[in-house]
Amino acid sequence: MKLSKKQLTDIAESIDAGFICYLNAETGEYIEMMNNDAMSNYGISWEEEEDEEPGDFSHQWEKELYDDVKSDMAKIDSWEHAIKIEKPESHESFKIMERFVDEIIPDGKLKNDFFRALSRSHPFRNFNAIVHNCKYREDWFAFKQNALEEYVRAMIDEYVSLHLNK
Protein backbone atom coordinates (compact mmCIF):
# COMPACT_ATOMS: atom_id res chain seq x y z
CA MET A 1 0.00 0.00 0.00
CA LYS A 2 1.31 3.40 -0.96
CA LEU A 3 0.39 6.52 1.01
CA SER A 4 0.99 10.00 -0.33
CA LYS A 5 3.52 12.21 1.44
CA LYS A 6 0.61 14.35 2.68
CA GLN A 7 -1.19 11.34 4.17
CA LEU A 8 1.99 10.19 5.90
CA THR A 9 2.64 13.71 7.22
CA ASP A 10 -0.95 14.10 8.44
CA ILE A 11 -0.92 10.77 10.28
CA ALA A 12 2.45 11.56 11.91
CA GLU A 13 1.19 14.99 13.01
CA SER A 14 -2.00 13.49 14.42
CA ILE A 15 -0.26 10.87 16.53
CA ASP A 16 2.23 13.49 17.73
CA ALA A 17 -0.76 15.54 18.93
CA GLY A 18 -2.03 12.55 20.91
CA PHE A 19 -4.63 11.21 18.49
CA ILE A 20 -4.93 7.62 17.32
CA CYS A 21 -5.16 7.00 13.58
CA TYR A 22 -6.92 4.06 12.07
CA LEU A 23 -5.82 3.27 8.53
CA ASN A 24 -7.68 1.04 6.11
CA ALA A 25 -4.79 -1.05 4.78
CA GLU A 26 -6.67 -1.85 1.59
CA THR A 27 -7.90 1.62 0.58
CA GLY A 28 -5.53 4.04 2.33
CA GLU A 29 -8.45 5.83 3.98
CA TYR A 30 -7.71 6.90 7.53
CA ILE A 31 -9.64 8.30 10.46
CA GLU A 32 -8.11 10.12 13.40
CA MET A 33 -9.72 9.62 16.78
CA MET A 34 -9.26 10.87 20.28
CA ASN A 35 -7.41 8.46 22.52
CA ASN A 36 -9.54 6.21 24.73
CA ASP A 37 -9.13 8.38 27.84
CA ALA A 38 -10.34 11.46 25.97
CA MET A 39 -13.27 9.53 24.47
CA SER A 40 -14.33 8.30 27.90
CA ASN A 41 -14.64 11.93 29.03
CA TYR A 42 -17.55 12.17 26.57
CA GLY A 43 -19.10 8.83 27.51
CA ILE A 44 -17.83 7.10 24.37
CA SER A 45 -16.49 3.56 24.44
CA TRP A 46 -15.79 0.82 21.92
CA GLU A 47 -17.54 -1.60 24.31
CA GLU A 48 -20.97 0.09 24.39
CA GLU A 49 -23.92 -2.08 23.54
CA GLU A 50 -25.88 -1.08 20.46
CA ASP A 51 -29.07 -0.39 22.42
CA GLU A 52 -27.44 1.69 25.15
CA GLU A 53 -28.57 5.29 25.26
CA PRO A 54 -25.84 7.89 25.63
CA GLY A 55 -25.91 10.10 28.68
CA ASP A 56 -27.47 13.52 28.70
CA PHE A 57 -25.59 16.11 26.72
CA SER A 58 -25.45 19.63 28.09
CA HIS A 59 -24.40 21.09 24.73
CA GLN A 60 -25.36 20.33 21.15
CA TRP A 61 -21.68 20.00 20.17
CA GLU A 62 -21.31 17.10 22.64
CA LYS A 63 -24.14 15.22 20.94
CA GLU A 64 -22.63 15.95 17.51
CA LEU A 65 -19.19 14.80 18.69
CA TYR A 66 -20.72 11.63 20.12
CA ASP A 67 -22.57 10.90 16.88
CA ASP A 68 -19.50 11.61 14.72
CA VAL A 69 -17.22 9.42 16.82
CA LYS A 70 -19.72 6.56 16.95
CA SER A 71 -20.09 6.78 13.16
CA ASP A 72 -16.31 6.68 12.71
CA MET A 73 -16.04 3.74 15.11
CA ALA A 74 -18.65 1.79 13.13
CA LYS A 75 -16.78 2.52 9.91
CA ILE A 76 -13.46 1.36 11.40
CA ASP A 77 -15.12 -1.80 12.73
CA SER A 78 -16.34 -2.56 9.19
CA TRP A 79 -12.81 -2.50 7.74
CA GLU A 80 -11.30 -5.94 7.30
CA HIS A 81 -7.74 -4.60 7.60
CA ALA A 82 -7.54 -1.65 9.98
CA ILE A 83 -4.13 -0.56 11.24
CA LYS A 84 -4.19 1.24 14.58
CA ILE A 85 -1.39 3.80 14.69
CA GLU A 86 -0.58 5.45 18.01
CA LYS A 87 2.19 7.65 19.28
CA PRO A 88 5.42 5.69 19.76
CA GLU A 89 5.99 4.24 23.20
CA SER A 90 8.20 6.29 25.49
CA HIS A 91 11.30 4.16 24.91
CA GLU A 92 10.92 4.70 21.16
CA SER A 93 10.44 8.45 21.63
CA PHE A 94 13.52 8.48 23.83
CA LYS A 95 15.53 6.87 21.02
CA ILE A 96 14.34 9.61 18.64
CA MET A 97 15.66 12.25 21.04
CA GLU A 98 18.97 10.40 21.39
CA ARG A 99 19.32 10.15 17.61
CA PHE A 100 18.61 13.85 17.25
CA VAL A 101 21.34 14.75 19.71
CA ASP A 102 23.76 12.27 18.18
CA GLU A 103 23.09 13.23 14.53
CA ILE A 104 22.26 16.95 14.65
CA ILE A 105 23.89 18.59 17.65
CA PRO A 106 27.59 19.28 17.08
CA ASP A 107 30.15 18.07 19.59
CA GLY A 108 30.64 20.45 22.46
CA LYS A 109 28.98 21.79 25.59
CA LEU A 110 25.44 21.79 24.19
CA LYS A 111 25.67 18.14 23.12
CA ASN A 112 26.99 17.23 26.56
CA ASP A 113 24.11 19.17 28.16
CA PHE A 114 21.61 17.23 26.07
CA PHE A 115 23.10 13.85 26.95
CA ARG A 116 23.25 14.82 30.63
CA ALA A 117 19.58 15.86 30.45
CA LEU A 118 18.65 12.54 28.88
CA SER A 119 20.52 10.56 31.54
CA ARG A 120 18.78 12.18 34.52
CA SER A 121 15.27 11.60 35.80
CA HIS A 122 12.53 13.27 33.72
CA PRO A 123 14.51 13.07 30.46
CA PHE A 124 11.62 14.31 28.28
CA ARG A 125 11.12 17.44 30.37
CA ASN A 126 14.88 18.04 30.56
CA PHE A 127 15.30 17.56 26.80
CA ASN A 128 12.44 19.94 26.01
CA ALA A 129 13.81 22.60 28.37
CA ILE A 130 17.04 22.64 26.39
CA VAL A 131 15.75 22.17 22.86
CA HIS A 132 13.08 24.87 23.13
CA ASN A 133 15.68 27.38 24.28
CA CYS A 134 18.42 26.77 21.75
CA LYS A 135 19.02 27.48 18.07
CA TYR A 136 18.21 23.86 17.13
CA ARG A 137 14.52 24.11 18.07
CA GLU A 138 13.23 24.11 14.47
CA ASP A 139 15.71 21.36 13.58
CA TRP A 140 14.17 19.29 16.37
CA PHE A 141 10.64 19.73 15.01
CA ALA A 142 11.73 18.71 11.52
CA PHE A 143 13.76 15.75 12.82
CA LYS A 144 10.90 14.52 15.00
CA GLN A 145 8.38 14.86 12.15
CA ASN A 146 10.63 12.86 9.86
CA ALA A 147 11.18 10.21 12.55
CA LEU A 148 7.43 9.91 13.16
CA GLU A 149 6.80 9.54 9.43
CA GLU A 150 9.40 6.74 9.35
CA TYR A 151 7.68 5.15 12.37
CA VAL A 152 4.26 5.30 10.64
CA ARG A 153 5.69 3.87 7.42
CA ALA A 154 7.35 1.02 9.36
CA MET A 155 4.08 0.17 11.14
CA ILE A 156 2.23 0.07 7.83
CA ASP A 157 4.92 -2.01 6.11
CA GLU A 158 4.96 -4.49 9.00
CA TYR A 159 1.17 -4.87 8.95
CA VAL A 160 1.06 -5.30 5.18
CA SER A 161 3.84 -7.91 5.21
CA LEU A 162 2.12 -9.89 7.98
CA HIS A 163 -1.49 -9.64 6.85
CA LEU A 164 -1.73 -8.75 3.17
CA ASN A 165 1.31 -10.37 1.55
CA LYS A 166 0.46 -13.98 2.24
| DSSP-assigned states of every residue in 59-120 | SHHHHHHHHHHHHHHHHHHH-SSEEEE-PPPHHHHHHHHHHHHHHHSPTTHHHHHHHHHHHS
Instruction: Give Cβ neighbours of residue 144 (< 8 Å, ≥ 6 apart).
Output: 16, 96, 100
* Domain endpoint, select from 37, 58, 85: 85
* 102 and 149 together in one domain: yes
pLDDT tens-place string over residues 122-163:
999 999 999 999 999 999 999 999 999 999 999 999 998 998
pLDDT tens-place string over residues 48-104:
555 455 667 788 888 888 889 889 999 999 999 999 999 999 999 999 999 999 999
Q: Which amino acid is at 6?
A: K
Boundaries of domain holding 68: 5-85
* 68 and 135 together in one domain: no
Supply the pTM of this predicted model.
0.86
Q: Tally the domains of the chain.
A: 2
C-beta of residue 43 within 8 angstroms of C-beta of residue 54:
yes
Assign 24 to helix, strand or coil: strand
**Which one, of 129, 93, 99, 130, lies nearest residue 15 by Cα?**
93
User: Looking at per-residue confidence, does 49 or 17 come out higher?
Assistant: 17
Look at residue 39 and tell me whether its pLDDT is greater than 80: no
Residue 90 CA to residue 151 CA, distance in Å, equals: 13
How much is the pLDDT for 57? 76
In the chain, what is the straight-line distance between the N-terminal and C-terminal CA atoms, in Å?
14
How much is the pLDDT for 51? 45
- Mean pLDDT along residues 31-42: 80
